[in-house]
Amino acid sequence: MCPVDSTTELAGITLRNPILTCSGTYGFGEEYTAYCPLEALGGITLKGITPLPRLGNPVPRLAETPAGLLNAVGLENPGLEEFLSSYLPKVRKLPTAVIANISGFSLEDYTQMARALRRDSGLAALEVNISCPNVKHGGMHFGTDPQSAEDVIAAVKAETDLPIIAKLSPNVTDIVEMARAVQRGGADAVSLINTLLGMSIDLDRQRPVLANTFGGLSGPAIRPVAVRMVWQVYQAIDLPIIGMGGITTWQDAVEFLLAGATAVSVGTGNFVNPQAPLEILKGIQGYCEKHGIASVRELVGLAHKS
């Protein structure tokens, strides 16, 4: 039998394979190279950046929960200028597709970054994290209001020629409505899901564990929510989906592909097993062989077919 074809296409980018890594869990690409060669990955997503540098939240920023992790890093990042001068020259040379991730607290924040990050930057795509409060509009989250989400994606799209991936927040009543909104805004793909808002309380101190009180839940605990959302969005819109949320093993990844994800992204799973992406790729290939499937692309959305 011929080897399984692992290549895939997403928003006009050809990926070596459908395994990516999640923003905020993989630094700026070099932290994990001793564990997982970047050549083996379909691509990586960089830590979210904002126009100005941010120190982020006080510690503790992390709290472990059953099969999950709460984080309140608070978007600590070097800022756009430092990213362009110190990080971009290095990341553009990495031997894999590199996706930048941008976050903002106003429409102008997003457009400013989009203007600076175009195809000639060497990046493969721009992931737009809309799970942030819009401080100019009473803190209403871009990611929970369909009109704001559409507007921010349209504004970013107008400023850059890079493919746009809209990263959706699961903290909404109707994920489908949000997915339709970003499709209208001109997104080329969607990433689902970002973290679920949660908290945890220290019984000894009788205080919240996180200095920030609330944090975003990630890890295996959120996987069923993520799979459900990928399933729903796959049925509702035409854009390719990058599935994420708790992927740690190849079985998890196959579940997302079957639900309709074109690619999968590993986040918290790297912390548990820094070689998870490699094992996942091997596992998916093995699964395809076993089921007589010639290309991983054939797995996408297979669970929807009657």
Partner 1 sequence: MLTEGLVVVHERLGEEAQRLMKLVLKGPIAKTAQAGQFVAVRVQDPTLASYDPLLRRPISLAEISPESDEITLLYRVVGKGTEILARARCGDRLSIMGPLGRGFSLPEDGELWLIAGGIGIFPLYPLAQRALAKGLSVRLFWGGDNQTFLESAGLSEWQALGIPIHLSTMDGSLGQKGLVTVQVLGLLWEFNGKVENSGQTMDGKLYVATCGPHKMMQAVTELCMNSGVPVEVSLEERMGCAVGACLGCVCTLKDEAGTLIHKKVCQDGPVFRGEEVVWDVSC
Ligand X SMILES: Cc1cc2nc3c(=O)[nH]c(=O)nc-3n(C[C@H](O)[C@H](O)[C@H](O)COP(=O)(O)O)c2cc1C
Q: Which residues bind ligand X (CB under 6 A)?
A: 22-25, 47-48, 69, 71, 73, 75, 101, 129, 167, 194-195, 218-219, 222, 244-247, 266-269
Q: Which does 194 bind (CB under 5 to 8 A by kind): ligand X, partner 1, none?
A: ligand X
How far apart CA 273 and CA 222 sit, in angstroms, is: 18
Q: For the window 24-53, what string marks contact with partner 1 as x by the rule CB under 8 A?
A: xxxx---xx-xx-----------x------
129 interacts with, out of partner 1, ligand X, none, CB within 5 to 8 A per kind: ligand X
- One-letter identity of residue 157: K
Q: Is 280 in the site for partner 1 (CB under 8 A)?
A: no
Sheet containing strand 68-71, strands side by side: 62-65, 68-71, 214-218, 196-199
The values of phi and psi at residue 71, to 5°, are -130, 145
C-alpha span between 284 and 251 (Å, rounded):
8
User: By C-beta, is 50 or 268 nearer to partner 1?
Assistant: 268
Find out whether 62 and 131 touch, Cβ atoms under 8 Å. no
Of the candidates 225, 194, 305, 196, which has an alpha carbon nearest to the alpha carbon of residue 260?
305
CB of 220 to ligand X, least distance (A): 7
Give the residue with the Cβ less far from partner 1, 79 or 271: 271
Q: How many angstroms separate the CA atoms of 14 and 185, rounded?
A: 23
If DSSP codes are grouped into helix, strand and coil, which group holds residue 260?
coil
Q: Which is nearer to partner 1, 32 or 87 (CB)?
A: 32
Using Cβ positions, the residue closest to ligand X within the complex turns out to be: 24
Kindly state whether residue 270 participates in binding partner 1, applying the rule CB under 8 A. Answer: yes
H or E element at residue 185: helix 175-185
Q: How far is the CB of 245 from ligand X (least distance, A)?
A: 5
| Contact indicator for 185, 168 with CB cutoff of 8 Å | no
- Residue range at the interface with partner 1 (CB under 8 A); choices 138-146, 159-167, 216-224, 232-240: 216-224
By CB under 8 A, residue 203 contacts partner 1: no
Least distance to partner 1, CB of residue 25, Å:
6
**CB 48 to ligand X: min, Å:** 3
Closest CA to 11 of 259, 253, 238, 284: 238
Residues noted as catalytic: 132
